[in-house]
Amino acid sequence: MAEVKEEKDNTWIIVGVCIAAIILLVVLLKKDETRHLESGAVAELQAETFKNIEKRHTSNVSTEAQKAGK
């Protein structure tokens, strides 16, 4: 009788390699995404924005003479 040769099932190996590749891709993309935070440009932009907001709030404050209609 002829022997029946069983094929090796590589499904779990393929699934494991796909999961590892996805994890590696996420880590690399996250590293690239946070690179701009290290330069300090975001903090500088935030400081400038808050300064402009504060200037706008203080320019809208009325003095006592303006409130009295003088």
Residue 16 confidence (pLDDT): 97
Quote the pLDDT of residue 66.
66
The reported pLDDT for the residue numbered 59 is: 67
Residue 70 pLDDT class (50, 70, 90 cuts): low
Distance CA 25, CA 32 (A): 11
Q: pLDDT tens across 18-67, in order?
A: 999 999 999 999 887 777 666 777 788 888 999 988 887 776 666 666 66
The pTM is what?
A: 0.45
7 touches 13 (CB < 8 A): no
CB 42 within 8 A of CB 36: yes
